[in-house]
Structure 1
Amino acid sequence: MTVKLKKIAEQVVVITGASSGIGLVTAKRMAAAGARVVLAARNERDLQQIVEEIAAQGGQAAYVVADVSVRADVEEIAAAAVRRFGRIDTWVNNASTSIYGRLDEVDIEDQRRLFDVNYWGAVHGSLTAVPFLRERGGALVNVGSVLSERAIPLQGTYCATKHALKGFTDALRMELEADGAPVSVSLVKPATIDTPFYEHARNYMDADPKPVPPVYAPEVVAQAIVHCAEHPTRDLYAGAAGVGIAAGGAHAKRLTDRVMERTMFAGQQDRARGRTRDEDNLYAPLDHDGGERGRYAGPVLERSAAPGLTARRGAGAATALGL
């Protein structure tokens, strides 16, 4: 079955993890384009402020306080969207966090919690959204990571959650296609993005986490998500560096291992700053989720200089999309 998606201006969109970073930028972008947006996250104060800001600019938005690791919370997101706006056209599973540290030093319960948020949160969202999307047609967009293609040290559990999400997303897509369901299932794979992600992560290292360049603006990912909401898309890299990382992981595994071993231990630790904080959002939201961008002081690429790659449903080969 050919999947036909509406223009963003005609859609009702649910976005999890919408109180900061990629989710926040995406929500604002979609609302500005005319979508009716339902924002979900754990921090009610931030959500309320964001919805008020969107309304002040002429947009339509609602919010739901939810922990995506709790299935009942996610089901309430869907119910609230239908109560307020009558339907769901696109569902974006974006809620995510991380843990920095060696795998043999990270507490097992923390690792389980990360899976609860990053993997099970997206599973809850996907399985809740699909029945609504089957009714009228629509898009399911899971925000993964380029690290679903290539693991790195010091974020081993995060990489594992994103590998798991990729497997789930690919399997769900095939099952829906086999049913002829009018649902597009997309996996967006961001590279390094300038968001509060690094300040939110649980940290077992002796220094604060820092992003590894090249670093892209969250707007690059938001554009990719909007594209997937309007055009049936299988996979999409957000940030051209992700294409190279994935290629290295696929075609030069041992060489890429060695490069990662030499660069990613020091590269992910802000030794100059040292360790300045102990708080994180693994189990509970921070008092303030931190807005759209992080505190990275280096250059941020506002556009992706080279195309990401996407394989469209039914296409025989990959096609290019410049971001």
Structure 2
Amino acid sequence: MGIKLKHLEDQVVVITGATSGIGLSTARMAADRGARLVVSARNEDTLIQLVEELRQRGTEAVHAVADVGDPAQVHGIAETAFEHFGGFDTWINNAGVSVYGYMLDVPLEDHRKLFETNFWGVVHGSLEAARYLSTRTAGHGGAIINLGSLVSDRAIPIQGMYSASKHAIKGFTDALRMELEALGAPISVTLVKPASIATPYAEHAHNHLEQEPSLPPPLYEPSVVAKAILHCAVHPKRDIRAGGGSKAIAMLGDLAPRLTDRIMKGPMIDRQKSGHAEHRHAFALHEPGIDMRERGSYPHHVSTTSLYTQASMHPVITTAVVAGALFGLAALSRRR
């Protein structure tokens, strides 16, 4: 079934986890492209600040305070969209948090809270969106966009439960897509799998290590993911990777799983530690963050673009360019 999505400037877009990192970058980019926005997070003061900024950018925006682990609060996000805009067109399940530490050292309470946010938050948002968008007539579809990760395909140590939650998101998203297609619902369901993104992710993550956590390279700007997300809000797509590093790690895991295990249990553990002693006492797992930042601080180079992701978004153009280049090389070879 062909699903036709509206142009972004004609859409109402819901974004969870909108006050930080990828969510914040996506909200700002969507506002600049003319979308009307319903932004959600746990801290109301930060949301009010964000809505004011988005309005100054020239778009209509409202906020809904919600912990996505609570289905009643997620329903409240949808109600806000109905009250202010009469509904929504795209729902982006972005809210998430991680826990660093060996799983034997992490309290079960922290494991459960991570899953309530990362997995159940996606489930609550997806089902809320699907119930509404299923009522659309054919040819006037909507989009559900879920944030997975490179660890949806390849688990990493000392973020084991985060990896498990992202594996679960992939399974849920794939199953939901198939069921909605079988029902004939005019809904595009996309899984976005970012590589390491230079957000405040590590600063917000709960930590049970003696060192402050970090993210391993290669690192990408949050805008790389935001562009991929908004592309999928307009162009139905099954899944997309944000950052070529995501594809490289997934391929290595598929082709050489035991070798990848050895890499992960050695260098990958060290690369997730900053080398600085942990001194923080407040984390975003159980309490909302209050700083409105897209970027975190990392010592490694951060890429502003991803050729792999650009190619994924524009496969026809990329194929034509590659074919043209190969044709040119062949012609040059013949002349020589």
TM-score (norm 2): 0.90
Deviation string 1:276-306 (CA, Å, 9 cap, x unpaired) is 31211111213x2341111223321010133
> What's 2:298 paired with?
296
Partner of 2:25: 25
The runs of at least 4 aligned residues of structure 1 exceeding 3 Å deviation read: 307-312
The aligned residue for residue 56 of structure 2 is: 56
Q: Residues 308 and 150 from structure 1, CA distance in 2 versus in 1: closer, same or farther, beyond 3 angstroms?
A: farther
Tell me how far 1:311 sits from its aligned partner.
10
Of residues 253, 259, 264 in structure 2, which corresponds to 1:255?
259
Q: How does 1:4-153 map to 2 (within 5 A)?
A: 4-136=4-136, 137-153=141-157
**Counterparts of 2:131 and 2:3 in 1: how far apart (Å)?**
15
Counterparts in 2 of 1:48 and 1:217: CA distance versus 1, 3 Å: same
- For each residue in 1:153-203, what CA deviation from the matched residue of structure 2 results, as whole angstroms up to 9, or x when unmatched? 000000000000000000000000111110000000000001111111000
Deviation at 1:308, TM superposition (A): 6.7
**Secondary structure of the corresponding residue to residue 190 of structure 2:** strand
- Taking the aligned partners of 1:165 and 1:311, their CA distance within structure 2 comes to 22
CA distance in 1 between counterparts of 2:216 and 2:172 reads 27
1:309–1:242 CA distance, 2 compared to 1 (3 A): farther
Distance 1:308 1:32, change over 3 A: closer
Please name the residue that 1:193 is paired with. Answer: 197
Distance apart, 1:135 and its partner CA? 2.1
The percent identity for this pair of structures is 52
Q: Conserved in 1, the CA contact under 8 Å of 2:22 and 2:225?
A: yes
One-letter amino acid matched to 2:26: T
Contact 2:39–2:47 (CA<8 Å) still a contact in 1?
yes
| Larger Cα-atom Rg | 2
The answer as to 2:241 corresponding to 1:205 is no
**8 Å contact kept, 1:196–1:290:** no
Deviations 1:65-109 (A, max 9, x none): 000000000001001001101121000000000000001111111
Is the 8 Å Cα contact of residues 234 and 311 (structure 1) preserved in structure 2? Answer: no
Contact 1:100 1:209 in 2 (8 A): yes
Q: 1:276 aligns with which of 279, 304, 325?
A: 279
Q: How many residues align?
A: 315
Gaps of 5+ in 2: 322-336
Q: What residue ranges of structure 1 are gaps of 5+ in the alignment?
A: none
Distance in 2, matches of 1:28 and 1:164, equals 29
> What is the match of residue 163 of structure 2?
159
- Contact 2:228/2:313 (CA < 8 Å) preserved in 1? no
